C-alpha cells in the first residue's frame, strides 16, 4: 500500500500530489502579517482556502485572530480541532442547519455568524430559546457592498439591526461586507479605487448604526486582492485574506507577485506525441480546476497546460520551445487555489526537497 512519510524525498511521491514549499509559504505568511499588522487591524484569515486546522493554528501562531470559514460544516471541524474563534461568513438558513449551529454554539461559545434577513435572525433566536442556552450568540450584519451576492442593502441595515435588538438570544457586534467582485480587478489603481468605494459603504453604515445606539465593535472585510486597501481605511477593524498563503495564477495576474506560489501540483509526463509538440501528464479535471482559466506549468517558459479529461492534461509548446520527456515530473500552478485544494486529500509540505509535514485536507467536501 502506498504510504508516503515525513522524511521521504519529494521525488518519491506518487503523482498527482499537492505539494507545498514551506520556505515560500512561511515567507508569504511573514509578508502578509508584516504588511497588515502595522495598520492596526485584526487579521482573521479565511480558512476556506487551506481547509486545515493545522494551517489555521500556524496562522494563529503568526498573529491571526482566529479564522473565517464559509460553511457550518467547516466550523464544526475547526472547532473540534481546537480552532474555535471562528466567524462563519455565510448565512445560516434552514431548520437542519440552524439546529447544527445551536449544537455547535453549545460546545463552542466563541463562534460568530452573519445575518442578512429578519427571517434568518428570528429562526436562530427561536432555536436558541428552545435549546435552553442562555448566552446570546454573537452576530454581524452581512452588508451588500456591491457584490450583490448576499448581504442586506445599506439602507435596510438599520431596520435589521432594530429587529436583532428585539431577539434576546442574538448579540449584534458588528458588520461584514465582502467585495469579492474586486479581488481580481487588474491594475492596482483601479482595484484600490473600487475597493475604497465599497469600504465607504461599509464604514458609513457602521457609523450610522453606532449613531443609532448600536455597539458596532467589528467591521470585517477584505480578501487577498484588497486587504491592504481595506486595512488602511479608517473604521475597518478586521480583514479576511486567505489565498495569500498559497497563491494561484489568477491572483498573481491581478495583483502581482508580492506573494509567491508556494503550492503546486506535482505531475508526471506519461505519454508523448510522436508528431506534435506536446506531452500528456497525469493531472486532469480531477486534479486542477478550470473556473479561473487553465493552470500553468511552473518554470517552463513557452509551455502551456490544457486539460484533456478527468485524469489527463496536455503540456504543449511552440517551435523552439522546451522539449519534455516521458517520465519527467513537472509542477503545475493552480489557476484557482480554493477549489483545487478541495480536490485533494493531503498536502505534502517539503523543504529543500524533503517532505517535512503531511497535512490532511480536513474540511475537504465540507459544503453544508
- pLDDT tens per residue, range 336-352: 999 999 999 999 999 99
Give burial (CB, 10 Å; 0-12/13-18/19+) of 274: exposed
* Structure confidence by residue, pLDDT tens digits, 50-97: 999 999 999 999 999 999 999 999 999 999 999 999 999 999 999 999
Average pLDDT value for the chain: 97
- Rounded to an integer, what distance in angstroms lies between the CA atom of residue 287 and that of residue 88? 27
- In this structure, of 34-48, 236-250, 280-294, 315-329, the range with the lowest mean pLDDT score is 315-329
Mean pLDDT of 7-31: 98
Domain ranges of the chain: 22-248
Give long-range contacts, CB 8 A cutoff, 24+ apart: 209-218.
209/141, 209/157, 209/158, 209/161, 209/175, 212/158, 212/161, 214/161, 214/165, 214/172, 215/172, 215/173, 216/172, 216/173, 216/174, 216/175, 217/173, 217/174, 218/140, 218/173, 218/174, 218/175, 218/176
Note the CATH number of domain 22-248: 3.20.20.10
Quote the pLDDT of residue 320.
Answer: 66
- Rounded to an integer, what distance in angstroms lies between the CA atom of residue 174 and that of residue 237? 10
Q: Of 46, 133, 53, nearest to 88 (Cα)?
A: 46
Mean pLDDT of 330-336: 98
Contacts of 82 (CB under 8 A, 6+ apart): 53, 57
Mean pLDDT of 94-110: 98
* Structure confidence by residue, pLDDT tens digits, 216-246: 999 999 999 999 999 999 999 999 999 999 9
Mean pLDDT of 182-207: 98
Of the pLDDT bands very low, low, confident and very high (cuts 50, 70, 90), residue 16 is very high
- Rounded to an integer, what distance in angstroms lies between the CA atom of residue 338 and that of residue 366? 12
Percentage of residues of the chain with pLDDT beyond 70: 99
Quote the pLDDT of residue 318.
Answer: 83
Place of cell 491572483: 251
Q: Which residues pair with 330 in a beta bridge?
A: 267
For the chain, the distance separating the N- and C-terminal CA atoms, rounded to the nearest angstrom, is 32
- Other Cβ atoms less than 10 A from the Cβ of 353: the count is 9
pLDDT(177) > 80? yes
Amino acid at each position: 500500500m502506498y504510504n508516503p512519510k515525513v522524511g521521504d524525498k519529494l521525488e518519491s511521491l506518487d503523482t498527482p500530489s499537492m505539494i507545498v514549499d514551506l520556505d515560500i509559504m512561511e515567507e508569504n505568511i511573514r509578508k502578509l502579517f508584516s504588511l497588515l499588522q502595522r495598520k492596526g487591524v485584526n487579521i482573521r484569515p479565511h480558512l476556506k482556502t487551506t481547509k486545515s486546522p493545522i494551517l489555521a493554528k500556524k496562522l494563529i501562531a503568526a498573529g491571526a485572530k482566529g479564522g473565517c470559514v464559509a460553511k457550518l460544516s467547516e466550523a464544526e471541524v475547526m472547532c473540534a480541532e481546537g480552532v474555535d474563534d471562528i466567524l462563519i461568513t455565510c448565512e445560516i438558513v434552514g431548520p437542519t442547519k440552524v439546529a447544527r449551529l445551536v449544537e455547535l454554539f453549545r460546545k463552542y461559545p466563541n463562534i460568530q455568524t452573519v445575518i442578512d434577513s429578519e427571517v434568518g435572525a428570528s429562526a436562530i433566536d427561536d432555536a436558541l430559546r428552545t435549546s435552553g442556552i442562555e448566552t446570546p450568540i454573537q452576530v454581524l450584519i452581512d452588508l451588500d457592498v456591491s457584490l450583490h451576492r448576499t448581504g442586506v442593502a445599506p439602507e435596510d441595515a438599520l431596520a435589521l439591526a432594530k429587529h436583532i435588538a428585539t431577539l434576546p438570544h442574538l448579540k449584534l457586534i458588528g458588520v461584514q461586507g465582502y467585495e469579492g467582485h474586486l479581488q481580481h480587478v487588474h491594475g492596482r489603481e483601479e482595484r484600490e479605487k473600487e475597493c475604497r468605494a465599497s469600504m465607504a459603504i461599509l464604514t458609513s453604515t457602521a457609523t450610522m448604526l453606532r449613531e443609532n445606539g448600536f455597539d458596532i465593535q467589528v467591521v470585517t472585510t477584505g480578501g487577498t486582492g484588497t486587504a491592504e486597501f481595506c486595512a488602511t481605511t479608517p473604521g475597518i477593524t478586521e480583514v479576511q485574506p486567505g489565498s495569500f498563503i498559497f497563491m494561484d495564477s489568477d491572483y498573481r495576474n491581478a495583483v502581482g507577485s508580492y506573494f509567491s506560489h508556494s503550492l503546486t501540483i506535482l505531475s508526471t509526463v506519461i505519454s508523448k506525441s510522436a508528431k506534435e509538440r506536446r506531452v500528456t501528464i497525469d493531472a486532469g479535471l480531477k486534479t486542477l480546476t478550470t473556473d479561473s482559466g487553465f493552470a500553468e506549468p511552473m518554470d517552463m517558459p513557452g509551455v502551456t497546460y490544457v486539460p484533456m479529461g478527468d485524469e489527463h492534461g496536455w503540456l504543449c509548446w511552440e517551435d523552439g520551445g522546451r522539449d519534455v520527456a516521458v517520465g519527467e515530473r513537472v509542477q503545475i500552478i493552480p489557476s484557482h487555489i480554493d477549489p483545487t485544494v478541495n480536490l485533494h486529500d493531503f498536502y505534502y509540505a517539503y523543504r529543500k526537497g524533503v517532505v517535512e509535514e503531511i497535512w490532511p485536507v480536513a474540511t475537504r467536501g465540507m459544503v453544508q
